[in-house]
Amino acid sequence: MKTVTEELPVKVIGVHLDRCTGCKTCELYCAVERGSSGKTLPKAVQETPVPKPRLRVERNNDTSLTIQCRQCVEAPCLNACPSGALIRDPKNEMVVVREDRCIACWTCLMLCPFGVIFPWPERKFALKCDRCTYMEHPVCVEVCPTRALEVVDKHKIEEMYREKRRIEAKTGAGSSKKEGRVRCDRGS
Amino acid sequence: MEAIHMKTVDPVSQELLRSAADRGLDLSWERHQKLQPQDGFLRVGLSCPYGCLQGPCRIDPFGRGPDHGLCGLDRNGMVAALLLRLSLIGALEALNAIPAPDTISEVSLPAPLDEMATQALKNLEGDSLSLGEIYRTISLLQRPQETPEQMVLQALRLGIITLGLLEQRQTSLDAQGSLLCKAGYGLLAGDKITIGICGHPPRELTEALLKESSRESSVRMQLVSLGDWIRLNDGFLPCACTSGEAELSLISGKINLVLLGPGADPTISDLCQRLDVPLVASREIQETAEILRLARQAYSIPSETSFDPDPSLVHEARVIMTAQDLEPLLRKEKFHARFALLGGADTPQHSFGWIPVELTSALRAEGYLVAGWGDAALWMIKNGFASEGQDHAARILDEYQGPLLALKALAVSGRLENFQGICFTGLKACRDLAVALGLAGLGLKVCVAVPLPLWGSERVRNFLTDKLAAGGGLLTHYDHPANAEEILEWFLKRR
């Protein structure tokens, strides 16, 4: 099995948690761009079967975030696919579904550690984010109104987090954010 | 700038756009671009716009997320409630334009449209119209309990009420005769002190400024509107541009001072600050001498731009204010002449001016008599389509009365059958949508060139279409910004 090495420039979609408002614009337009034939929202809502997105916005307490395929280095879905529908694209190391080969057995769904492969029973194939490989930019990144989504080099994520933690420790921004429930009664 | 023709069809505006780009100024087109995509849920009518303070609730059009609002409203109810809310705001806008709204109790349409209204109301399951319906609608929208069908019916009834309120405004203003209006960038040509007016400052202030500015001085002084139809005692204030182009006229460097009245876009004051153009709000300064002094002071500072348009880029047309003035003009036309109405605001969904200019030319070539109102009418004037002395000149209608005025004249002259339809080229205010609904509810053929937020519910769309068809009406709208060819085809199909 081929593994992704440190040298390969694998890019994934990162989420700035402090910017995600949970508006679901990414979900909506992912379904329009990748799941519909009309390619516009008013056209897509009229289609049958109903278009489906390849990512999901989840909310936990005060935080919301977009979750989509993390393009695992050791991808369980890839190893488990009995029909060979899931492959790793050698050009960009994305795990992609060959829709014509998918037999809708949903094995990949069960094995995905992040729960980011979705069934589309009407079309009989599994849906997962392939970072819109054929487009210049992923549609979710393009449409995000707060620029919470960003295409980042997978190997640089940890570096970015280290830098963020360093700034937070220096400025105390992280702790104040946790306390950040604001009461607005100025002047009373 | 390679797609500049996608922004406006006016060559002068294109030149100003290039200048703005060179200076790094963001205008409405850039703001529109940055706003893309606009709230998708709202675009298809599946965002409940704060009827209560428990929301905002949104329904996933693709069925995986929420399928009901917190109060239990489903997607059909949400789309219908949004339509009703927009229609309600439109009716309130029309009510607000009446000088003494508290004196009105019943709303009616004038003869001969009253018979059409009676027939329409039978179709819309109700009798006479009253202002009380507006208040009932407000309570209905607190917690929409009616069926989607009832809400659509109420939206249509509010549309007809809006028409009645616009008529009421006209009656209370006692407008008579037709008034002259000039439009075009040519107004900014030459060396003069120019005060641009945005919004609607008090008429007395504008008249006083006009009087003061016409006094003898070493440099000529003029007042121009930046896209608003500003009524004076004996005409309209000349319009340098359409409302969509107001920012561009500021870029030109030819506006020495801006007088801001109610109804102006916030962007005008922002841009004035960035460009160092003095700005006077009509609610703050009412002293004409002070305003003129500021304008003269600003004029004495040399402009950064070298913009100087061709003085011939200005045309004049008569604005018809009453049906009585339009009727004799209609009688001059052949009895079987076909009539088309075009009106509405500039919208960044289309290249500015594209729909009114293309359609007016094409319809006139097909032998139609075209009349227009709003920004569409300004485009007709700017392009010389409405200038007097030419065959089948486009007719310019009062901005508020617009299609209603034309319909009254057509009905009185017995030519309503020759009427081919009304196209709203762009919607800026909810009043325009309410008027479109009201006209379709009266049994007329209406087309809206920009998408309406109805695509989230097939049931609502179908009910609206069927109900209007039962009364002989039609409301054509598209799931994309319609192009000129599509709308031309729509008109030609009506023949």
Q: Is A37 on the interface with B (CB under 8 A)?
A: no
Q: What is the rounded radius of gyration, in angstroms, for the C-alpha atoms of chain A? A: 19
Query: How far apart are the CA of A19 and the nearest CA of chain B, in angstroms?
Result: 17
pLDDT 10s digits, A107-120: 999 999 999 999 99
What pLDDT sits at residue A133?
86
Q: Is residue A63 part of a domain?
A: yes
Q: Using the beta-carbon criterion (under 8 Å), do A45 and B63 form an inter-chain contact?
A: no
Three state DSSP letters for chain B = CCCHHHCECCHHHHHHHHHHHHCCCCCHHHHHHHCCCCCHHHHCCCECCCCCCCCCCECCCCCCCCCCCCCCCCHHHHHHHHHHHHHHHHHHHHHHCCCCHHHCCEECCCCCHHHHHHHHHHHCCCCCEECHHHHHHHHHHHCCCCCHHHHHHHHHHHHHHHHHHHHHHHHHHCCCCEEEEEECHHHHCCCCEEEEEECCCCHHHHHHHHHHHCCCCCCCEEEEECCCCCEECCEECCECCCHHHHHHHHHCCCCCEEEECCCCCHHHHHHHHHHCCCEEECCCCCCHHHHHHHHHHHHCCCCCCCCCCCCCCCEEEEEECCHHHHHHHHHHCCCCCEEEEEEECCCCCCCECHHHHHHHHHHHHCCEEEEEEHHHHHHHHHCCCCCCCCCCCCEEECCCCHHHHHHHHHHHCCCHHHEEEEEEEECCCHHHHHHHHHHHHCCCEEEECCCCCCCCCHHHHHHHHHHHHHCCCEEEECCCCCCHHHHHHHHHHCC
Q: Is B67 on the interface with A (CB under 8 A)?
A: no
Whether B274 contacts B25, CB under 8 Å: yes
Q: Is residue A171 part of a domain?
A: no
| Pair A23, A113 in one domain | no
Closest CA to B477 of B452, B443, B441: B452
| Pair A80, A64 in one domain | no
Q: Is residue A170 part of a domain?
A: no
| Pair A62, A133 in one domain | yes
| pLDDT tier for residue A4 given thresholds of 50, 70 and 90 | very low
Give me the domains of chain B, ranges plus CATH numbers.
47-173 (no CATH), 185-299 (3.40.50.2030), 317-493 (3.40.50.2030)
What pLDDT sits at residue B178?
85
| Pair A39, A108 in one domain | no
Scan for tokens 């139809």, then name that residue: B229
Q: Using the beta-carbon criterion (under 8 Å), do A45 and B62 form an inter-chain contact?
A: yes
Q: Which two tokens stand for residue B200?
A: 């609607």
Euclidean distance between CA atoms B118 and B123, whole angstroms: 9
Q: Determine which of A30, A32, A45, A146 to mutate to test the interface with B (most B C-beta atoms within 10 Å).
A: A45
Within 8 A of B37 by CB-CB distance, chain A residues are: 25, 29, 41, 143
Query: What percent of chain A shows pLDDT beyond 90?
Result: 54
> Using CB atoms and an 8 Å cut-off, which of residues 129-148 of chain B contact chain A?
none
| Pair A76, A110 in one domain | yes
Q: Is residue A41 part of a domain?
A: yes
| Pair A87, A122 in one domain | yes
Q: Is B266 on the interface with A (CB under 8 A)?
A: no
Q: What are phi and psi of A115, to 5 degrees?
A: 65, 40
Closest CA to B229 of B205, B259, B197: B197
Task: Report how many Cβ contacts below 8 Å link chain A to chain B.
Answer: 56
> Using CB atoms and an 8 Å cut-off, which of residues 411-470 of chain B contact chain A?
451, 455-456, 458
Within 8 A of B43 by CB-CB distance, chain A residues are: 41-42
Q: Is residue A15 part of a domain?
A: yes
Q: Which two tokens stand for residue A63?
A: 């935080």
Q: Using the beta-carbon criterion (under 8 Å), do A35 and B60 form an inter-chain contact?
A: no
The torsion region of residue B265 among left (phi > 0), alpha (psi -120 to 50) and beta comes to beta
Count of helices and strands (H, E) across chain A: 7, 8
| Pair A34, A103 in one domain | no
What pLDDT sits at residue B245?
95
| Pair A109, A39 in one domain | no
C-beta neighbour count of A66 within 10 angstroms: 26
Q: What are phi and psi of B320, to 5 degrees?
A: -85, 125
* Count of domains for chain A: 2
Bond preceding residue A49 cis, omega within 30 of 0: yes
Measured between its terminal Cα atoms, the distance across chain A in Å is 67
* pLDDT averages per 10-residue partition of chain B, 495 residues: 82 93 91 86 87 84 89 93 95 88 75 84 83 88 88 95 88 73 94 93 92 81 94 92 95 94 92 93 86 91 83 94 87 82 94 96 93 96 91 90 90 86 94 96 95 95 96 94 95 81
Nearest to B65 among A24, A29, A42 (CB): A24
Q: Which chain A residue lies closest to B454 (C-alpha atoms)? A: A42
Q: Is residue A43 part of a domain?
A: yes
| Pair A63, A134 in one domain | yes
Q: Using the beta-carbon criterion (under 8 Å), do B64 and A44 form an inter-chain contact?
A: no
User: CATH number for the domain including A115?
Assistant: 3.30.70.20
Within 8 A of A33 by CB-CB distance, chain B residues are: none
Last residue of a domain, one of A126, A146, A165: A126
Euclidean distance between CA atoms B255 and B299, whole angstroms: 9
Q: Is B39 on the interface with A (CB under 8 A)?
A: yes
Element (H, E) at A119: strand A118-120
C-beta neighbour count of A38 within 10 angstroms: 15
CA distances from A63 to B2, B61, B182, B479 (A): 42, 24, 56, 34
Query: How far apart are the CA of B456 and the nearest CA of chain A, in angstroms?
Result: 6
ipTM metric: 0.76
Q: What are phi and psi of B201, to 5 degrees?
A: -65, 165
Within 8 A of A54 by CB-CB distance, chain B residues are: none
Q: Is residue A176 part of a domain?
A: no
Whether B178 contacts B318, CB under 8 Å: yes
Alpha helices in chain A (DSSP H): 25-35, 41-44, 76-80, 107-111, 139-143, 157-171, 173-179
Nearest to B63 among A24, A29, A50 (CB): A50
| Pair A48, A85 in one domain | no
Euclidean distance between CA atoms B240 and B10, whole angstroms: 13
What pLDDT sits at residue B472?
93
| Pair A40, A86 in one domain | no
Residues of the domain holding A35: 8-68+129-155
The DSSP secondary-structure symbol of A50 reads P
| Pair A13, A99 in one domain | no
Whether B199 contacts B227, CB under 8 Å: no
pLDDT 10s digits, A48-58: 999 999 999 98
Within 8 A of B458 by CB-CB distance, chain A residues are: 46
Euclidean distance between CA atoms B467 and B347, whole angstroms: 29
C-beta neighbour count of A83 within 10 angstroms: 12
Closest CA to A26 of A56, A62, A59: A56
Q: What is the rounded radius of gyration, in angstroms, for the C-alpha atoms of chain B? A: 23
The DSSP secondary-structure symbol of A169 reads H
What's the CA dihedral at B432, B436, B437, B443 to 10 degrees? 160
Task: Write the CB contacts of A150 (distance below 8 Å, at least 6 apart in sequence).
Answer: A13, A14, A15, A16, A141
Q: Which two tokens stand for residue A25?
A: 């614009």
Q: Is residue A86 part of a domain?
A: yes
The DSSP secondary-structure symbol of A118 reads E
CA distances from B261 to B176, B251, B280, B284, B326 (A): 25, 20, 9, 10, 30
Q: What is the mean pLDDT of chain A?
A: 85
Euclidean distance between CA atoms B444 and B403, whole angstroms: 11
What pLDDT sits at residue B413?
85
Q: Is the pLDDT of residue A2 over 80?
A: no
Q: What are phi and psi of A163, to 5 degrees?
A: -65, -40
